[in-house]
């Protein structure tokens, strides 16, 4: 609610790209967002959504995603209480992570039966557009528990197979019948169970190293009309599942 999207960038700072230009730009972004110290790598930057802001939010809201609260004493206490009693907390906060020298512009989550488990995502408006359409880059992961952390006091623990959360948001937006095209680009970097990487709160994660690009359309679109962009090929966690066995 505090983000003034119209003033994030000047007209001179924004660059309009075609598909190949967008692909190149996304491949040059850092692998991960930064943690609360603005120096340590956090969760992998594995999600890109192209579309007008209100349309993106409306699409996610129709699929059951809720905007999150900001982190403050009351929301953190409510998170701890909800965890102890195993209750649902649809708007529980997410910690600020950093990209483009600022915390996330938007944070959403899809809660499960308890506050300990949820899918959550953070998005930042990028200083580029695709043929005039806004580009949001961010990260998505699935929380599987609550833990204490020296960095954030209380935090969620993420599922290490982050590519499954990436697949989930792809299927969710496809089910909304607003997905026009999907593709994958390099930029995150590969990791597996034998050589995992770690986020800001020291949770391990494994990934095929790609970020998904979801381009929204304005009209209702059937599943068989979704365009597959001829870029990289994703494994969606298959190889990492074999590593875990």
Q: With the C-alpha atoms ordered 51, 214, 168, 145, is the resulting torsion angle positive or negative?
A: negative
Q: 107-135 pLDDT, tens per residue?
A: 999 876 665 677 899 999 999 999 999 99
Return the DSSP state at 25.
H
**DSSP secondary-structure letter at 28?**
H
Query: What CA–CA distance (Å, rounded) separates 145 from 34?
Result: 21
Sign of CA dihedral 245, 182, 34, 40: positive
Question: pLDDT digit string (tens) for 150-192?
Answer: 555 556 678 899 999 999 999 999 999 999 999 999 999 999 9
Instruction: Tell me how far apart the 2 most distant CA atoms of the chain are, in Å.
Output: 51
pLDDT of residue 201: 82
DSSP one-letter string for 45-67: --EEEES-HHHHHHHHHHTT-EE
User: How much of the chain exceeds pLDDT 90, in percent?
Assistant: 67
CA distances 143 to 11, 61, 196, Å, are 38, 19, 17
**Angle, vertex CA 115, rays to CA 110 and CA 118, nearest 5:** 30
Global confidence as pTM: 0.86
pLDDT band for 244, please (50, 70, 90 cuts): very low
Whether 129 contacts 116, CB under 8 Å: no
pLDDT on residue 245: 43
Lowest mean pLDDT among 93-97, 194-198, 222-226, 227-231: 93-97
Q: What pLDDT is recorded for position 151?
A: 58
More confident residue, 83 or 109: 109
Supply the DSSP symbol for 94.
-
227 or 200, which is more confident? 227
* Lowest mean pLDDT, pick from 91-105, 158-172, 206-220: 91-105
């Amino acid at each position: 609610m505090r983000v003034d999207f119209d003033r994030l960038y000047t007209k001179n700072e924004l660059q309009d790209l075609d598909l190949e230009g967008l692909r190149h730009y996304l491949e040059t972004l850092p692998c991960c967002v930064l943690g609360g110290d603005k120096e340590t790598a956090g969760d992998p930057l594995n999600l890109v959504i192209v579309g007008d802001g209100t349309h993106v939010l409306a699409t996610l809201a129709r699929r059951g995603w809720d905007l999150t609260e900001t982190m403050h004493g009351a929301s953190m206490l409510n998170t701890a209480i909800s965890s102890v009693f195993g209750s649902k907390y649809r708007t529980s906060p997410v910690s600020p992570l950093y990209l483009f020298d600022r915390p996330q512009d938007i944070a959403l989550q899809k809660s499960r039966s308890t506050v300990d488990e949820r899918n959550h995502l953070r998005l930042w408006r990028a200083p580029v557009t695709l043929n005039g359409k806004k580009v949001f880059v961010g990260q998505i992961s699935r929380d599987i528990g609550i833990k204490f952390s020296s960095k954030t006091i209380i935090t969620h623990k993420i599922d290490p197979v982050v590519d499954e959360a990436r697949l989930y948001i792809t299927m969710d937006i496809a089910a909304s019948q607003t997905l026009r095209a999907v593709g994958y680009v390099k930029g995150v970097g590969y990791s597996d169970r034998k050589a995992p990487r770690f986020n800001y709160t020291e949770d391990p994660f494994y990934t095929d190293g790609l970020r998904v690009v979801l381009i929204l359309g304005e009209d209702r679109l059937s599943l068989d009309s979704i365009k597959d962009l001829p870029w990289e090929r994703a494994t969606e966690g298959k190889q990492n599942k074999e590593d875990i066995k």
